[in-house]
Amino acid sequence: MTRSPRVIVVGAGIGGITTAHVLARRGFDDVTILEKGDEAGGVWHWNTYPGLTCDVPSNLYQFAFAPKPDWERVFATGPQIKRYVNDVIDHLGLRDRLICDAEVVSTVFADDEWTVTLADGRTFVADFVVMATGVLHHPNVPDIPGLDTFGGPVVHSARWDADLRIEGERVAVIGSGSTGVQLVTALQGLASRVLHFTRSPQWVMWAPMDLKQSRLLTAVLTRFPAARSALYRALLSGSGFLADVTTVPSWRRRALQQFARASLAVQVRDRRTRAALTPDYEPMCKRQVLSGGYYRALQSVDADLVDAPIREVTATGITTGDGVHHPLDVIVLATGFRAHDYMRPMDLRGRDGVRIDDVWADGPRAYRLTAIPGFPNLFTVLGPNSPTGSISLQYTAERTAEAIADRLDEFAAGVFDTIEVTEEATDEFLAEANTAMGPTVWATGCDSWYLTPAGDVDLWPYDRRTLTRMLAEHRTDHYRFTRSPMTTHGATR
Ligand code: NAP
């Protein structure tokens, strides 16, 4: 018996495009990608703020199945990555599987099928749904008193307005994560004055973010495709260092942390400024910020660090807790994302009408990155516990998609009609993961976006080998299957 599963992939970012390609490679041709935005690219589509740069080297931050030989920079800019992702979509023939301007508002399971409904009322029916909706997706707009009374523009970094006038303006950047640091570095010199409001400073490790890729390397990679794969594999293997230092306490972790401290000490000589920029937690506890120019920009005559807490926003600027009013023309919110929303606010309902909002009331929980009890024939790619910041996301997405393709093979062969991970297996996985999280740097005492409402670290506490093994291994005792002898799926669709 063979049948062709109907698959909906939600999201056309790194995870969704990887999934669509892997499923195509494995011979599944009834795959539709639904993308809320008007173009593909995920975070690289939504984020267009000045200075946006990826802090992972370009020759690693790419799909293993589509290595690019001619990256312009060692750390690519946002527009360069978005162009690359879209080139890959065209090159791999995925464009006709992609529907943009397709915001999914509900996904409901009934009678062994998923019905996916878009905001404009269109519906799709599928045997499987893959949620590749991303982590850094929903802008976090802070609840600052008076924000809506400000007389000038207020823009979140992930909804940048290309027409926003910066030149000659007094600009506030609120937030000191990767985004705030990149924005301050880019806007200083354009704006008449940049004020960086930092509720809590972050460690900013020096890195040559503007470095160009050498022409020789481009020539070699262009000429010898084998060299591209070899370089990618070497970088992937070398990136094991990051998983090592973040998950295992060692001299290597301490050495890197010392480098973060030295980056501050060497670049900021003024004692008061240095004290104001010194975090009260260990380097790398939050997602490590990299920058080659932030401290220089911040110490320029046309930039100010404002470390007093924000009391309120008025029509003319921001007033801080020390009573100082800072007159402003533009406010930029680099205040991050609601990282644990994942596919929500979508109305996602699984078996017996169970709602994701209820199941995830205390935070997201999934089995081995990809399966949720109560939600048969639904998988997440780069979902809960994904190794954001320690293992290549492209690699993780590809391994996850391969595991999903294995299940689709079984469905196609009639092995089951529905597959659903058990509560017990999920609890067991999460309990072990939480224990393994103990020695990680993320659990050393800081308040980061990695933490769920319940206080769990929503990351991957293991190395890449463990990730590969757990995704490849199919423990049938961890799942419940249904199979109807009268299945209507007997014929090829
Ligand atoms: P973030 O790291 O979550 O930082 C948000 C900042 O906003 C924090 O400094 C936070 O202060 C501040 N904030 C939040 N609410 C506030 C409020 N009500 N009042 C004052 N300050 C407030 O967000 P992000 O910088 O956008 O970065 C998120 C992630 O995106 C990064 O960690 C990284 O993974 C990714 N990213 C990557 C790149 C890249 O180069 N690849 C670039 C940008 C972003 P507290 O710390 O006090 O909470």
Residue in this structure with the two tokens 């020390």, named with its chain if needed: 322
* DSSP secondary structure letters along 77-124: BHHHHHHHHHHHHHHTT-GGGEE-S--EEEEEEETTEEEEEETTS-EE
* Stretch 230-257: mean pLDDT: 97
488 has pLDDT over 90 = no
> Tokens in use for 215?
């022409």
Q: Are 40 and 131 in contact (CB under 8 A)?
A: no
| Ligand 1 atom 28: residue of nearest CA | 336
One-letter amino acid at 61 equals: Y
* Stretch 1-26: mean pLDDT: 96
> Tokens in use for 238?
């070398």
| Nearest alpha-carbon partner for 9 in 108, 106, 133 | 133
| CA torsion angle 217 221 223 229 (round to 10) | 150
Peptide bond into 384 cis (omega under 30): no
144 has pLDDT over 80 = yes
* Stretch 128-143: mean pLDDT: 96
34 has pLDDT over 90 = yes
- Distant-in-sequence, close-in-space partners of 359: CB < 8 Å, separation ≥ 6: 350, 365, 372, 373, 374
Cα distances (Å, whole numbers) of residue 309 to 173, 323, 324: 13, 10, 11
- Indicate whether this model's pTM tops 0.75: yes
* Stretch 431-456: mean pLDDT: 96
177 Cα–ligand 1 center, Å: 4
pLDDT score for 492: 34
C-alpha angle 128-129-130 in degrees, rounded to nearest 5: 125
SS3 content of the chain, % helix, strand, coil (to 5): 35, 20, 45
Instruction: Give percent of the chain with pLDDT exceeding 70.
Output: 98
105 Cα–ligand 1 center, Å: 27
The distance of Cα 232 from the centroid of its chain, to the nearest Å, equals 21
Local structure of 347: helix, strand or coil: strand
> Tokens in use for 234?
């070497």
- Cα–Cα dist 63/72, whole Å: 17
Ligand 1 neighbours by CB, cut-off 6 Å = 53-55, 136, 142, 144, 174-180, 182, 199-200, 287, 310, 334-336, 447, 449
Domains and CATH numbers, the chain: 7-38+100-138+338-482 (3.50.50.60), 147-333 (3.50.50.60)
216 has pLDDT over 60 = yes
Give the pLDDT band (50/70/90) at residue 2. Answer: confident
For the CA of 174, the nearest atom of ligand 1: 21
445 has pLDDT over 80 = yes
* Stretch 343-368: mean pLDDT: 96
- Cα–Cα dist 297/304, whole Å: 9
Give the pLDDT band (50/70/90) at residue 248. Answer: very high
pLDDT score for 486: 57
Q: Are 368 and 470 in contact (CB under 8 A)?
A: yes
| Nearest alpha-carbon partner for 30 in 112, 130, 110 | 130
Return the DSSP state at 287.
P
CB atoms within 10 A of CB 214: 10
Local structure of 49: helix, strand or coil: coil
Q: Are 177 and 49 in contact (CB under 8 A)?
A: no
372 Cα–ligand 1 center, Å: 28
One-letter amino acid at 339 equals: A
Local structure of 257: helix, strand or coil: helix
Return the DSSP state at 450.
T
- Cα–Cα dist 132/396, whole Å: 12
- Distant-in-sequence, close-in-space partners of 223: CB < 8 Å, separation ≥ 6: none
Q: Terminus-to-terminus CA distance in the chain, angstroms?
A: 11
Peptide bond into 345 cis (omega under 30): yes
- Distant-in-sequence, close-in-space partners of 238: CB < 8 Å, separation ≥ 6: none
289 Cα–ligand 1 center, Å: 10
pLDDT tens digit string along 265-284?
999 999 999 999 999 999 99
Instruction: Give percent of the chain with pLDDT exceeding 90.
Output: 96
Mutate to test the pocket of ligand 1, among 199, 204, 277, 311 (most ligand atoms within 8 A of CB): 199
Burial class from Cβ neighbours inside 10 Å (0-12, 13-18, 19+) for residue 341 reads middle
- What is the Cβ-side half-sphere exposure of residue 352, based on CA atoms within 13 angstroms? 5
| Ligand 1 atom 26: residue of nearest CA | 336
pLDDT tens digit string along 397-413?
999 999 999 999 999 99
333 Cα–ligand 1 center, Å: 9
pLDDT tens digit string along 70-114?
999 999 999 999 999 999 999 999 999 999 999 999 999 999 999
1 has pLDDT over 90 = no
For the CA of 388, the nearest atom of ligand 1: 34
pLDDT score for 181: 98
| Nearest alpha-carbon partner for 302 in 191, 467, 440 | 191
Cα distances (Å, whole numbers) of residue 124 to 30, 108, 113, 228, 461: 12, 11, 10, 39, 37
* Stretch 233-254: mean pLDDT: 97
pLDDT tens digit string along 255-266?
999 999 999 999
Q: Are 204 and 290 in contact (CB under 8 A)?
A: yes
Beta strands in 188-257 (DSSP E): 193-197, 204-206
For the CA of 158, the nearest atom of ligand 1: 26
pLDDT score for 389: 81
